[in-house]
Chains A and B, each alone.
Chain A
Amino acid sequence: MLDFWEYIKKMFGMLHRSLALIFLVLFPVLGFCTEPEPWQFGFQDAATPVMEKVNELHTILLWVIFVIAVFVAALLLYTGWRFHEKRNPIPSKTTHNTLIEVIWTVIPVVILIFIGIPSLRLIYYMDKVDEPEITIKAIGHQWYWEYEYPEEDISFDSYMIKTADLKPGQKRLLEVDRPVVLPVNTNIRILTTSADVIHSFGVPAFGIKQDSVPGRLAEVWARITKTGNYYGQCYEICGMNHSFMPIQIKVVSREEYDQWIKEKGGKKAKADASKNNPTKL
């Protein structure tokens, strides 16, 4: 069973990639991208296994719905043409055909089972990570994000950089003054809540979107496979500056991350420091 689905996914993936090649020729894209691009047609590039799996399922879905929509439209137009009053002046009076009615009930059911199975597997896969190595907490405020690294005793606010203050190369409405820093290839648990109204913490490239609801603590996870600057936004209307509370995540190597934690005065960094120089205590 498992092999069957892997096979199906591979098939669709190949079909998709070969057609994507045509688009590549028409719209040249420079390799892996960590942000949305002009005239983009599909998802942002996946930077986590979750988003890769979402992408796989969506590829299957896209082909299924594409075929259905084209089939319905073609059938409708053909029927309209074939049975136009010029070609078929005497209408039939057929109003029943049990066989065909059974067929068009059963086939959609089969298609739904076909997409339902991988869909349910994805839902359970996305849910939780077993062994988080790092936990961070994103707290929504009107209108900025506050980040906590509870294990490190670090917390800071992160505001969007106003358009007037942008430096060359910075992205309008996406760049923030203090980005989140996370290590690559690490199981990260992200908790989120809100201090006022509902916000939603979403980073498309990671396959993450979680509402930040006051009084609740929700959990998502990410294992980011490529370093770089990633961007997310608030996905739940939260008032006047809903459009202006972006998320920026700098994904770096483990060493750079440890260095950053040290500079920030993280608890672990302090503990490590005291271990290395016991006399200094």
Chain B
Amino acid sequence: MSDHHPTGLKRWLFSTNHKDIGTLYIIFSIVMGIVGGAYSGMIRAQLATPDGGFLGLDGQFYNVVITAHGLIMIFFVVMPGLIGGFGNWFVPLMIGAPDMAFPRLNNISFWLLVPAITLVMMGGYIGSGAGTSWVMYPPLSSTLGHADMAVDFVLFGLHLAGASSLLGAINFITTIYNMRAPGMTFHKMPLFVWAMLVTAFLLLLSVPVLAGGITMLITDRNFATTFFDASKGGDPVLFQHLFWFFGHPEVYIMILPAFGIISHVISTFSKKPVFGYLGMAYAMVSIGVIGFAVWAHHMFTVGLHVDTLAYFTVATMVIAVPTGIKIFSWIATMWGGSVRFSTPMLFAMGFIILFTIGGVTGVVLANAGVDKILHDTYYVVAHFHYTLSMGSLFGLFCGFYYWIPKISGRMYSETLSKIHFWVLFIGVNILFFPMHFLGLAGMPRRYADYPDAFAGWNMVASIGALITLASTVFFLFILFHTLRYGKKAPANPWGEGADTLEWTVDSPAPFHTFDTQPRIK
């Protein structure tokens, strides 16, 4: 019997099964999403009205809240959800492999996240808490700005999260290179697998640079080195270069898997193969490559040489071209198709519209001259929440509704999930769109309190946050409803448009799949 599996502790704690580990990642991502969302709620409550809103947090604790919010959402919600969760579940299924290449490594990758988040969370509450924001620039993050151990906790937590990502990346690369079913050449690989391959390479090349940077920060803090101490020959700006050499690829690490999911969903619900498949795959590759050469666009105000500003402006704008190719290819995939507005498709279309808005404001920010005015204002906050909080998050929900029949064996309710989509769509737009106005007017980021002129749009944003909160609670209900009352799902609930291998196995996918390798024509 092929579906024999261990139970209890043996199944979940010592798991080496890619589906179980994927499920653990998804559960982890949802739980951390609630925690990170609680921090978002605190931010919007604090900023709802001038003078501390309903919370009246003091400046340091507010900084702790935004730091925790950023770190949790990036490292413990989006990455585990998209990469660890959907990546683990569907990369082996889509390439016809029985499991990941290194199942025990896979187990470690997941379980490292638990001590990682524990350390990061403790960093928020030890001493005065780590209020450095997620970028952790020294000297604010040095002993000068944070004398107690809080920042050390966060740094070690990030080291563990980084190790987890690195091991995961190695696993994905090995799996994708060596375990594709016979006949599945690179140019026949599903786009989600392409996305995960590029993502894994981005992780492999960028995370060690972050690890180097934070290690130097740890030794600066604890062992009297002075890498980032200007008074002793170091340079605080060096840290920013190291951080953003990681940080910029990181934003693509968070969006490329979503790109992959969107491609499959658009194709499935248009009953039409992806338009310009090779263009789509190599657009992601080129986004990944160029993504390593644009990092200093986060540093336009640190005092770079004017020629450097010019270079990074041009290089950053170039990324708009492959991104444009993706957007237009998605629309071209729908063109001529037979479009059905199921919930995953709504999320995919919402993704395209909102990611385009976040993308074009990115083009504005690419211009160093304009960015000097908008840098560290709410315009930037609006920009990256349109790409992440609407881009990556919509990608997560899109993947969730698309694949939950395969994962759980049960269908979600179309009515409930459509309500979820619309409430979320309206909520996030009311929440984040006014932030463009605040940023243009000059409101700085990471402020616990703001001049009264900014009160109006902040109130609107906080109302949007309430709506978003409502949609999130509703999503948890849908999750419960699906698992408890969902109709039994067939192997392929989506019909002829869904032509990747995961739809050839039963729903829920059995514990062991592809005992005999499928052949790709």
Contact = CB atoms under 8 A, between A and B. Distances in A.
Interface residues of B, number: 93
29 contacts: A36-B442, A41-B437, A43-B373, A43-B441, A54-B370, A54-B372, A68-B360, A72-B331, A73-B353, A79-B335, A80-B339, A80-B349, A88-B339, A97-B332, A101-B279, A108-B324, A120-B310, A120-B313, A123-B306, A172-B452, A173-B450, A173-B452, A174-B451, A197-B140, A208-B372, A213-B237, A215-B235, A240-B59, A244-B59
B303 A211 contact: yes
Interface residues of A, number: 95
A55 to B, nearest CB: 9
A204 B375 CA distance: 11
A104 B276 CA distance: 12
B144 interface: yes
B11 interface: no
Nearest to B327: A72
A239 B61 CA distance: 10
A238 to B, nearest CB: 6
Interface of A: 35-44, 51, 53-54, 57-58, 61-62, 64-65, 68-69, 72-73, 75-77, 79-80, 83-85, 88-97, 100-101, 104-105, 108-109, 112, 115-116, 119-120, 122-128, 163, 171-174, 196-198, 200, 202, 204, 207-211, 213-216, 218-219, 231-244
Interface stretch (B84-92, B103-111, B168-176, B266-274): B266-274
Interface in B20-51: 50-51
A172 B132 CA distance: 25
A168 to B, nearest CB: 14
A204 B310 contact: no
B443 A36 contact: yes
Contact of A123 (B144, B145, B275, B313): B313
Given A41-B437, A69-B357, A76-B352, 4 more contacts: A94-B272, A197-B140, A214-B230, A243-B59
Contacts of B231: 214-215
Contacts of B16: none
B102 interface: no
Contacts of B368: 119, 123
Given A40-B453, A243-B448, A198 B276 contact: no
Contacts of B60: 239-240
B127 to A, nearest CB: 13
Interface string B352-374: 11001100110110011110110
Interface in B444-492: 444-457
B293 to A, nearest CB: 16
A201 B418 CA distance: 46
A240 to B, nearest CB: 4
B364 A61 contact: yes
Nearest to B60: A240
Contacts of B337: 83, 88, 91-92
B347 to A, nearest CB: 13
Nearest to B318: A112
Contacts of A69: 356-357, 360
B276 A91 contact: no
B376 interface: yes
Contact of A79 (B230, B331, B340, B444): B331
A73 to B, nearest CB: 5
A231 B341 CA distance: 50
Contacts of A105: 321, 324-325
A86 B144 CA distance: 65
A119 B332 contact: no
A157 B47 CA distance: 29
A61 B370 contact: yes
B311 to A, nearest CB: 10
Contacts of B179: none
A113 to B, nearest CB: 9
B63 interface: yes
A150 B422 CA distance: 59
B507 interface: no
Nearest to B235: A215
B363 A237 contact: no
A207 B368 CA distance: 12
Given A197-B139, A239-B63, A91 B444 contact: no
Contacts of B437: 39-42
A37 B235 CA distance: 38
Interface string B4-28: 0000000000000000000000000
Interface string B165-191: 000000000000000000000000000
Contacts of B375: 200, 209, 235
Given A83-B339, A243-B447, A42 B277 contact: no
B321 A108 contact: yes
Nearest to A88: B338
A80 to B, nearest CB: 5
| Most chain B CB atoms below 10 A, which of A42, A51, A239 | A239
Nearest to B437: A41
A88 B321 contact: no
B433 to A, nearest CB: 11
Contacts of B370: 54, 57-58, 61, 119, 122
Nearest to B276: A101
Contacts of A42: 437, 440-441
Contacts of A173: 449-452
A44 B331 CA distance: 38
Nearest to A212: B303
- State the 7 A-B residue pairs at the shortest beta-carbon distance, nearest first: A215-B230, A122-B369, A204-B442, A65-B360, A92-B336, A218-B303, A240-B59
Nearest to A96: B276
Contacts of B373: 43, 51, 54, 58, 204, 207, 209
Given A213-B236, A240-B63, A93 B272 contact: yes
B171 to A, nearest CB: 32
Contact of B456 (A38, A68, A88, A122): A38
Interface in B308-348: 309-310, 313-314, 317-318, 320-321, 324-325, 327-329, 331-332, 334-341
Contacts of A127: 306
B259 to A, nearest CB: 15
Contact of B446 (A51, A119, A210, A237): A237
Given A84-B339, A126-B369, A239-B59, A44 B442 contact: yes
B367 A57 contact: yes
B434 to A, nearest CB: 9
A97 B390 CA distance: 30
A40 B276 contact: no
Nearest to A234: B444
A116 B451 contact: no
| Most chain A CB atoms below 10 A, which of B144, B314, B321 | B321
